[in-house]
Amino acid sequence: MVLAGKIALVTGGSRGIGRAIALKLADLGADLAINFFRSRQKAQATQQEIFSLGRDCAIFRANINDVDSIKKLFHDVRSKFGRLDILIANAAMAMFGNLEDFSLKGWEVTMDANAKSYFLCAQEAVKMMPKGGKIVALTSYGSQKYIPGYAALGSAKAAIETLTKYLAVEFAPKHINVNCVSGGAVDTDSFRILSEYNKHIAEEYIRKTPAKRLGKPEDIANVVAFLCTPEAEWIKGQTIIADGGFSLM
């Protein structure tokens, strides 16, 4: 129970990787604030799973693409829990397509929902974090390498990785750690949407990955959770790759 007594906020925590992270943090003793936007039913199901682990959990609806909604989210978390020890910036929204035909609206939505929201969430979180706080953002392999149709989200994830370095340095005097976890292809609803655009991406990933499978949400959650523990204190501003060895090939 290395996170006993800690309060963690997971954006987009009702399903997929976010849900797996929330459950892992709860398993390690943290109480949870779960942010969702579309499915209250899934958020409530995740909340019940956390209750079954003996931890407290509150759910908060917020649109991470909206500045006022983000501010209200953190206000509500403070009102419920009084402080925040861990922020997991997981929620994402993206449009896929070739750059030649890509709309400005699609570009702005993708950048705002990822890089801009991470910037705003980090600003709000640090105001209510005591010493020893942890911030972990989720990024992806598309920040470094070309993936067809992934230009907008890949650019946003690259911005997240760079912003993490700056946040890590500026928050270090406050004893707040900031890092990223970059997953490979993880079997989630979001990956299935990308697969509809790029129909061969799953089989290509499995073929090239030494592990010979897609990632599971729990694979990413385990790494994220470690970065939230005291043992990860000396890791600052890094992007930890958890991809089954795909990036080695």
Looking at the annotation, which residues are catalytic? Answer: 150, 157
For 73, the token pair is 């989210």
DSSP state letter for 37 = S
- Sheet bearing 57-61, strands edge to edge: 57-61, 31-36, 7-10, 86-89, 134-140, 177-183, 239-242
Q: Is 95 buried (19+), middle (13-18) or exposed (0-12) by CB count in 10 A?
A: middle
Q: Are 57 and 31 contacting, i.e. CB atoms less than 8 angstroms apart?
A: yes
Residues 6 or more apart whose CB falls under 8 angstroms from that of 234 comprise none
Q: Are 90 and 8 contacting, i.e. CB atoms less than 8 angstroms apart?
A: no
Within its chain, how far is the Cα of 37 from the centroid?
15
Residues 6 or more apart whose CB falls under 8 angstroms from that of 219 comprise 183, 186, 242, 244
* Count of positions (residues) in the chain: 249
The residue behind tokens 């958020």 is 43
Which residue, among 46, 42, 35, 44, has the nearest Cα to 12 in the 3D structure? 35
Q: Are 61 and 36 contacting, i.e. CB atoms less than 8 angstroms apart?
A: yes
For 213, the token pair is 């499978």
